[in-house]
Structure 1
């Protein structure tokens, strides 16, 4: 039987692009783990994706994961767009590379090990864990320590 894990995620960017951060709260039974990091120059969408990636990659065994996010970009990307992108070899309908392809590929790989249920919630409505993730992600954005090399490389 798979372990049942709840994952709450949020990404933040101070300017878009600008310094950014993400936060993840993982819950298994009565245990809680918080993951966070700050980047010098990135985008909000990349931080939303990194939150999910970090949470999924942290899990060392296959799990049943309920991911609670306020990012429609992430939820729609995984459920609606990614199957189409994969069929089109990671190209958009305009035959251009999918934006943030490096992170979408990581999510695609991380999802293979888990059974995932997605729940979208509206941001800033007082959802306890979402608000906590927002606070932690903003704090990490204000104290960046990581270069987002792919983002910086893709702009040249």
Structure 2
């Protein structure tokens, strides 16, 4: 199973102070990372976010990396092979951000990464959270306080608690309704009391109680 990761970054203004944010939806709970630089560009912060995310994982890890930057996704999945074949050069010169590109290439090559582009600011919770973390990273780089109280981390919804259903046939249901009415309880409450009693008695005690009840009901000889 692949671990889903969201990575985002940006500057305000561009170029200018930048930040990056990462949300890792690990099985044990969400892990959040962020940081920034006082002078950078949008593309460098996007690349840095993906690099920091991959650095968190050991070699061989299976990851689904979700980024809203086509620059990052297409660099890895479409353009990088050609750049490497040409000595990390394009028709106009050296590949931009070559230091980060080479680091990203080395990290991705040692891990099983599926790259997925997601539309930014489209309501996908992990992406929105990574964007907010990038803002916090930029503020940290500038020595500013957090923009707002930190919201709860992104996490998978808790599994629904199992429910136990017990089928009761018509005749038994009628007896149950009458007995509950005599006891001044609802049928549900009466069943719960009966179950608690049966659990307290245990199998042997329940068998004895049933035998005694049958003897009391039996007609005198």
Structure having greater relative contact order (Cα 8 Å, sep ≥ 6): 1
TM-score normalised according to structure 2 size: 0.62
Q: How many residues align?
A: 143
1:52 aligns with 2:50: yes
Q: CA deviation at 1:42?
A: 0.2
Residue number among 142, 145, 148 corresponding to 2:139 in the alignment: 142
Structure 1 SS opposite 2:141: coil
* Aligned counterparts of 2:61 and 2:84: Cα–Cα separation in 1: 24
Q: Within 5 Å, which residues of 2 pair with 1:6-155?
A: 6-94=4-92, 96-144=93-141
Partner of 1:148: none
Q: CA deviation at 1:71?
A: 0.3
* Aligned counterparts of 2:4 and 2:101: Cα–Cα separation in 1: 21
Q: CA deviation at 1:124?
A: 0.6
* Aligned counterparts of 1:29 and 1:73: Cα–Cα separation in 2: 29
Q: Determine if contact 1:22/1:136 at 8 Å carries over to the other structure.
A: yes
TM-score normalised according to structure 1 size: 0.87
Q: CA deviation at 1:23?
A: 0.4
Alignment RMSD, CA only? 1.5
The list of structure 1 runs, each at least 4 consecutive aligned residues, that deviate by more than 2 angstroms after superposition, is: none
* Aligned counterparts of 2:68 and 2:125: Cα–Cα separation in 1: 12
In structure 2, runs of 5+ residues without a counterpart are 143-221
Q: Which structure has more strand as a fraction of its residues?
A: 1
